[in-house]
Chain A
């Protein structure tokens, strides 16, 4: 091949290449940009319009130049944390992570969440967030997400089982003594039992103990979070109040493998006369299709968790933040999706539908709107001032597991309460000292 031919070939190739590039560039302008956003959240959040369906549609409306693909992965509580940690370790975390407030310290300390302090400052709804909840989004002085919802545990009782036991269906127990007496009276073993609480290895199992603990003047850890404090005399009484229900036969030992959802559902299915739970109305609607607020009010009741005799009302609070993982390739869009999903308008729809608690001042003031959807919403709101949070320290998962382990031994009657709590406290101290 001579030189002329070579030059000619190169020129033709260059011309072709330029034309193709130009055509491609032209096509880029006309074709919307493709963006995939992955969301890790509790499975039930995808089963209703709020928050995600509305949020996705709104994000798409705001960005007509982008063609969004949303990958939604729904999980149970423990699986969600494991899946997030493994995906982050594998370098492919989601773009939006629904983070339980107790995981915040662990995730932030491990560098897994994006600091959104500057972003919330620019978000016009941030000032509307209740100050106490706003504070809980901070870790080491920086903000790492915003609330999708919070919750509080309240006592739920089945009025039909109360009537069958000759109890006044409108009068729930107020303290541990009344709870014990009424649970005994409402028990018709093995058909149904007076009181249920979960015993399987999950955080929700020990929440019942923590509520009793705070009610009795105790606390989970010392103020500096350096040592266990739940094995105090107040702690022993708090745990005994639960274990005595098993000894008395008002709670079956089979709860040792009962998940919180099994126990909570059991109240609506007539297996337990009472249990403390969150999102009661959402569960009732899931289990009894077509139940109206009026029917719900006639068949079930909500009241504050019975307190320690001479103690204070106490309940446990939790909830989820929506966060942006550091490995997200679309952090701005992910944050925008979060502000829509967790914004006041969407949060109202989501929390009202499931019986959760909002975190915006403007929504707290809309109690009447909530009561229209959930007739017992005022009970939930009234419980808020007595709500306690678990420490969201990085070691929490292991600490909680130690208490869960001894609680199983107590449910099965294999240990004495003091001995069990001391053992758990010893292990917790070891974890905290590492």
Chain B
């Protein structure tokens, strides 16, 4: 077969990316399609070879189950956890990145290393540490409160009104470092000349932050938003180890519900349906953020 130079180049290009495409197919696309396929079957973990076509039944069960209810328990818990964690992680990460960037800060590298530490620790270890912090009788928090004279300190993870807030705080502490790294990169991308020019023009700190820094690091913020949102929606280990979805399903976020249905009760079909819903949630969020970023970029250009 006679191929011209361009065709040979194209084939060579495909050959170079073929191993990556193969890996992508094996470890991402195949499991993804298999999960969607399973979501339409009544299939048990204990007997995967005996599957019965169930149509939309697994999806219907997710949305119609009473205890926990998707709309009054799972979805609000998920939204609370994701919004709280993402806002906190990005907000504090960004704030810390700006603070550490200041010229008067000495030992910046050491401070950065310390800030990044929680991120490299396993989620389970973080969960155990925070469980101990929140422990009503022996925990650090209640010890501090008692030493300040608080007579009836909260029971934290056992209190249905406080438990989700406790998880969000732990997750912010765990994930803030990731935002810090991204936002530090963003701040590094701003040239000193721009900031100096703003100073010469008499811009105060707030104006420099809102009119120069945030618009210039917007791409980093959006990337941070996408990655953190997806990681939080999918996150499981921290909640599983701290509360296992309780008490009374107050922390039963969708990923924990997926685990309980698929592995706790062995209903793989239902678990797959929930996984498919999580995938859709991730997709919707990603499209939303990317559109938001695109619109703002186009607006900025004009």
Contacts and interface: CB of A to CB of B under 8 A. Distances in A.
A414 B46 contact: no
B33 interface: no
B158 to A, nearest CB: 5
Given A200-B244, A256-B247, A85 B265 contact: no
Given A110-B44, A253-B155, A82 B244 contact: no
B265 A107 contact: no
A319 B113 CA distance: 49
A264 interface: no
Query: Is chain B's binding surface mostly helix, strand, loop or mixed?
Result: loop
B155 to A, nearest CB: 5
A110 B265 contact: no
B265 A253 contact: no
Interface residues of A, number: 34
B145 to A, nearest CB: 12
Contacts of A232: none
A92 to B, nearest CB: 13
A363 interface: no
A42 interface: no
A200 B241 CA distance: 12
Contacts of A253: 155, 158
Contacts of A106: 46, 266
A427 interface: yes
A330 B158 CA distance: 47
A408 interface: yes
B10 interface: no
B246 A201 contact: yes
Contact of B264 (A78, A107, A110, A427): A78
A408 B263 contact: no
Interface stretch (A44-52, A371-379, A398-406): A398-406
A88 B266 CA distance: 12
Contact of A190 (B44, B137, B245): B137
A85 B45 contact: yes
A307 interface: no
A106 B46 CA distance: 8
Interface string A382-410: 00000000000000011001100100110
Contact of B158 (A86, A201, A256, A409): A256
Q: Residue among B46, B47, B263 with the most chain A CB within 10 A?
A: B46
Interface in A401-423: 401-402, 405, 408-409, 411-412, 414, 423
Nearest 5 pairs between A and B by C-beta? A110-B46, A110-B47, A85-B45, A254-B158, A256-B247
Given A253-B158, A257-B246, A397-B265, 9 more contacts: A89-B48, A89-B268, A106-B46, A107-B46, A111-B47, A201-B245, A405-B248, A405-B249, A423-B67
13 contacts: A85-B46, A85-B263, A88-B46, A89-B48, A106-B46, A190-B137, A200-B244, A201-B246, A254-B155, A397-B264, A397-B265, A398-B265, A401-B265
